[in-house]
Amino acid sequence: MDHAHPPTPPGTASRRSGPQENWLELRTQVRRLTADWRDAGRYRPRSDAWLRSFDLDFSKELAARGLVAMTYPEEFGGGGRSHVERLAVTEELLRAGAPVAAHWIGDRQIGPAVLRHGTRELQEEILPQISSATAVFCLGMSEPEAGSDLAAVRTTGRRVRDGWRITGHKIWTSHAHRATHAYVLARTEHAARKHQGLTEFIVDMQADGVSVTPIVDLTGEHHFNEVRFDDAFVPAHRVLGRAGAGWKQVVEQLSFERGGAERVLSSYPVLVDLIAATAEAQAHELQGLLGSLTARLAVLRRMCWDVARSLDAGEAPVQQAATLKYLGNTFEHDVIDALRSTDLCRDAARDSVFGQALLASPGFGLRGGAAEVLLSVIAKQEARA
Amino acid sequence: MSEFAAELRTLIDDLVSAEGGTAGDVDPLRLWERLRELGLHRVGLPEERGGSGGSLDDLVVVVEALASRGVGVPIVETSVADWVVGHAQPLDDRLTTVVLLDTSTAPTDRGPGLPVVPWGRHAQRLVLCAPGRPAQAVDMAGAVVEPGENLAGEPRDVVTLTGATPAELAGAPSYDAVRQRLGLLWSAAVVGAAQGAYRLTKAYVAERRQFGAPLLEIPAVASGVAQMRVGLAQAETALALAREAVAAEGETPADVNVSESAVATARIMTAAAATDIARLAHQLHGAMGVTHEYPLHHCTRRLWAWRDSVAAERQWAEELGRQAAAAGEHGVWTRLTATAY
């Protein structure tokens, strides 16, 4: 796969000391910071925090400590570190249930996409803003008529003088109401094959013609939105990569979107309770459940690590990431279900550890690719193998 | 990862093919003789003790490769028994098997006999390991063997020792170390058998046509294939974790504790994958898969037999869960994140 701008070689990360020491140092740093914020009452740990807990101040604090944009080159305000080191940090943040939603999407997939496919001009504009957590990104992928079938997007990009005009309707756009920028996948030509003629854009949420309406989810929380683009202008340099080649790029982006620890640890606060309950009850049934879950977690962590290593090697491990996400989401559900073998589920409050996780759980196997679609992706790949 | 992995796999594939190819045609004892001639049965044991050299990792590859062809030979039992004996004395040609005893009582001629002795009828010597006691070896001459079979039809005999008295093996590894090595190798065997079942199923649903198209065109069938694949990926990853953890520590019994949880994890994950993969393989094969003639059962029966061999999945899970509960969340997390893997 050719990349306009290959990612930082993995070797650069270990210039200070051995990788093992780096990980521990990074982990310790995150543990201290989250403990300070938690003890000061500045956040309350919760399940699904990476999607639902939005706190720009916390994201900026992480950015100031070099814990955002860790894998980006230093010239763009990044840390010049490896994806494996970034994984150590994201794992600790998820474990702590910290409020990381503000920078998560930009940091995770938009920055890397801009690094891989963006022009120098676009990199210089966007990457420092992600690195400092001043840019907040939302993902304009899904549409009312293009859910799992992403290539069916109807949003169009029309070439005009100095740029493009975008018209269309995106949905399930988390944090669009707080975002400064949107990543938008749009059709820019009507090709014979629907996977051709798609283009990726970076759109200002403040641009004329962009409007946001909320969708409240079943928990009563608001993170979803609908976003409408009515002839919104996008300057020419905000095209990400090559016009018309968006499909290949977005598929590659999915390995960043699907291959992280947030596909495994969304319900981690429930596991914390399960460990404590098992210690208290000392029942064989609980011990067996906890043992199996611990074993699965060890394996899933390793899969995250394998994906991170592939990313460090400049690959796009789409299949591996799909496998990880499918198995990770199943684990997240099973952790919640296991707590039903304790008393902690009885008449549980909606804002209890169990309640928050369970009410968030229907989204686990949908966002970033529905479980059924992931299985179909895997089956197709296997049929070819 | 073993540097000889590809070579060993090819060698074993060729051997199995030469002996008839499909598991049903292979005479396990003939294949075993071929393996012995080539020294493959003692890979992972030092040459100066009568082994064939190579690492434990190489042995894992051999076990996995044999299992993936659906054949059962006494490689796990004898290689572990030889490993135990090799600590005390140079190895001779006797076929030696191993039994883990639940209690610390030594078997006597007045006892009820040892149940489930793997390949007991073929063994010439038996290694006995009990918690808290040094391992012992006993010659099988004069022992009374009552044949039995496991779910895969492999010999699991009841042995009553009447003659020789078991003798202590000085310097032999601890019970826990033996159990751990068995756990690692049985995990490798399960992964191999799961690969075999998966390979057969994938080929079958691509060839078999119904409703005018290959079965694979039916979305529920494709989904089943994908679920087998991700289950296998999980089992393979767990095995890789355990191999690395064990390799990182060397093989001295004193180091057992650190890789204990990695082996328990591998046993749990491979057993769970065995359950799903055997069920899905049969479901996707339809009635063809339940015939004796079709080779699927050589893999699936081994999955069922081996997933709970020596210690049941549930037992490993309870042990790991007990440790996790005792360590608390902080301990669990620290242990999980102590290594990159």
Report DSSP letters for A326-362, one per residue: HHHHHHHHHHHHHGGGSGGGTT--TTSHHHHHHHHGG
**B305 with B313: CB under 8 angstroms?**
no
The confidence score (pLDDT) of residue B238 equals: 97
Domain match, B113 and B183 both: no
The band of B254, judged by pLDDT with boundaries at 50, 70 and 90, is very low
Residues of A in Cβ contact (< 8 Å) with B323: 291
DSSP H or E segment with residue B178: helix B175-207
Phi and psi, residue A280, nearest 5°:
-75, -45
The confidence score (pLDDT) of residue B21 equals: 74
Nearest beta carbon to residue A275 from set B229, B268, B328 = B328
Q: Å from B142 to nearest chain A CA?
A: 42
Instruction: Count other Cβ atoms within 10 Å, centred on residue A248.
Output: 16
**Based on the number of CB atoms within 10 Å of its own CB, is A69 exposed (0-12), middle (13-18) or buried (19 or more)?**
buried
Domains and CATH numbers, chain A: 10-134 (1.10.540.10), 138-244 (2.40.110.10), 259-384 (1.20.140.10)
Within a domain: residue B341? Answer: no
Residues of A in Cβ contact (< 8 Å) with B336: 294, 297-298, 301
> Do B223 and A375 make contact, defined as CB atoms within 8 angstroms?
yes
Nearest residue in chain A measured CA to CA from B198: A382
Q: Which of B168, B203, B219 is the last residue in one of the domains?
A: B168
Per-residue pLDDT averaged across B164-180, rounded?
Answer: 93
| Count of domains observed in chain B | 2
Residues of B in Cβ contact (< 8 Å) with A282: 325
Q: Which of B119, B134, B168 is the last residue in one of the domains?
A: B168
> Hey, what are A340's tokens?
């039903």
The band of A370, judged by pLDDT with boundaries at 50, 70 and 90, is very high
What mean pLDDT is reported for chain A? 93
> Do B265 and A299 make contact, defined as CB atoms within 8 angstroms?
yes
Read off the pLDDT of residues B98-141 as tens digits, 9 standing for 90 and up: 999 976 555 554 466 898 999 999 999 999 999 999 999 999 99
Within a domain: residue B147? Answer: yes
Domain match, B186 and B232 both: yes
Within a domain: residue B105? Answer: yes
Within a domain: residue B65? Answer: yes
The confidence score (pLDDT) of residue B255 equals: 44
Nearest residue in chain A measured CA to CA from B319: A291
Q: Which of A252, A257, A262, A332 is catalytic?
A: A257
Angle at A140 between CA A138 and CA A142, to 5 degrees: 125
The confidence score (pLDDT) of residue B213 equals: 97
Q: Which of B149, B168, B187 is the last residue in one of the domains?
A: B168
Domain match, B185 and B142 both: no
The confidence score (pLDDT) of residue A375 equals: 95
The band of A15, judged by pLDDT with boundaries at 50, 70 and 90, is very low
Residues of A in Cβ contact (< 8 Å) with B317: 287-289, 291-292, 295
Domain containing B181 — which CATH number?
1.20.140.10
Determine the structural domain holding residue B85 and report its residue range: 5-168
Residues of A in Cβ contact (< 8 Å) with B328: 275-276, 279
Domain match, B274 and B201 both: yes
The band of B2, judged by pLDDT with boundaries at 50, 70 and 90, is confident
Domain match, B159 and B30 both: yes
Q: Å from A374 to nearest chain B CA?
A: 9
The band of B222, judged by pLDDT with boundaries at 50, 70 and 90, is very high
Per-residue pLDDT averaged across B242-251, rounded?
Answer: 80
Domain match, B84 and B106 both: yes
Domain match, B51 and B69 both: yes
The band of B163, judged by pLDDT with boundaries at 50, 70 and 90, is confident
The confidence score (pLDDT) of residue B42 equals: 96
Within a domain: residue B241? Answer: yes
Q: Is the pLDDT of residue A172 over 90?
A: yes
- Percent of chain A with pLDDT strictly greater than 90: 91
Query: Between residues A6 and A162, which one has the greater pLDDT?
Result: A162
Q: Is the pLDDT of residue B72 over 60?
A: yes
Domain match, B94 and B137 both: yes
Read off the pLDDT of residues A20-50 as tens digits, 9 standing for 90 and up: 567 889 999 999 999 999 999 999 999 999 9
Domain match, B234 and B321 both: yes
Bridge-partner residues for A245, per DSSP?
A198
The confidence score (pLDDT) of residue A19 equals: 58
Calculate the alpha carbon distances from B260 to B176, B177, B182, B331 in Å.
9, 9, 12, 15
Q: Is the pLDDT of residue B301 over 80?
A: yes
Domain match, B196 and B323 both: yes
DSSP H or E segment with residue B157: strand B156-160
> Hey, what are A211's tokens?
């409007």
The band of A1, judged by pLDDT with boundaries at 50, 70 and 90, is very low
Residues of B in Cβ contact (< 8 Å) with A296: 234, 269
Domain match, B207 and B324 both: yes
Nearest beta carbon to residue A327 from set B230, B319, B326 = B230
Report the alpha-carbon distance of residue B245 to residue B52 in Å, rounded: 23
Instruction: Count other Cβ atoms within 10 Å, centred on residue A128.
Output: 17
Domain match, B189 and B154 both: no
The band of A385, judged by pLDDT with boundaries at 50, 70 and 90, is confident
Within a domain: residue B197? Answer: yes
Mutate which of B207, B239, B276, B320 to test chain A, going by most A C-beta atoms within 10 A? B320
> Do B318 and A298 make contact, defined as CB atoms within 8 angstroms?
no
Read off the pLDDT of residues A106-164 as tens digits, 9 standing for 90 and up: 999 999 999 999 999 999 999 999 999 999 999 999 999 999 999 999 999 999 999 99
**B262 with B246: CB under 8 angstroms?**
yes
- Catalytic residue at A257? yes
Within a domain: residue B38? Answer: yes
Per-residue pLDDT averaged across B161-185, rounded?
Answer: 93
Q: Is the pLDDT of residue B58 over 70?
A: yes
Read off the pLDDT of residues A306-356 as tens digits, 9 standing for 90 and up: 999 999 999 989 999 999 999 999 999 999 999 999 999 999 999 999 999
What mean pLDDT is reported for chain B? 92
Report the alpha-carbon distance of residue B265 to residue A296 in Å, rounded: 8
Per-residue pLDDT averaged across A241-249, rounded?
Answer: 95
Nearest residue in chain B measured CA to CA from A385: B202
The confidence score (pLDDT) of residue A10 equals: 39
Mutate which of A85, A292, A339 to test chain B, going by most B C-beta atoms within 10 A? A292
**Interface contacts (A, B; CB < 8 Å):** 136
The confidence score (pLDDT) of residue A18 equals: 52
Per-residue pLDDT averaged across B201-224, rounded?
Answer: 97
Nearest beta carbon to residue B319 from set A20, A278, A291 = A291
Nearest residue in chain B measured CA to CA from A285: B318
Nearest beta carbon to residue B324 from set A275, A303, A374 = A275
Within a domain: residue B71? Answer: yes
The confidence score (pLDDT) of residue B3 equals: 83
Provide CB contacts within 8 A for A146, sequence distance 6+. A152, A153, A154
Reduced to 3 states (helix: H, G, I; strand: E, B; else coil), residue A145 is coil
Nearest residue in chain B measured CA to CA from A273: B329
* DSSP letter for each residue of A262-300: GGT-TTHHHHHHHHHHHHHH--HHHHHHHHHHHHHHHHH
Mutate which of A26, A91, A275 to test chain B, going by most B C-beta atoms within 10 A? A275
> Hey, what are A357's tokens?
């996780």
Residues of A in Cβ contact (< 8 Å) with B219: 376
The band of A9, judged by pLDDT with boundaries at 50, 70 and 90, is very low
The confidence score (pLDDT) of residue A219 equals: 93
The confidence score (pLDDT) of residue B162 equals: 84
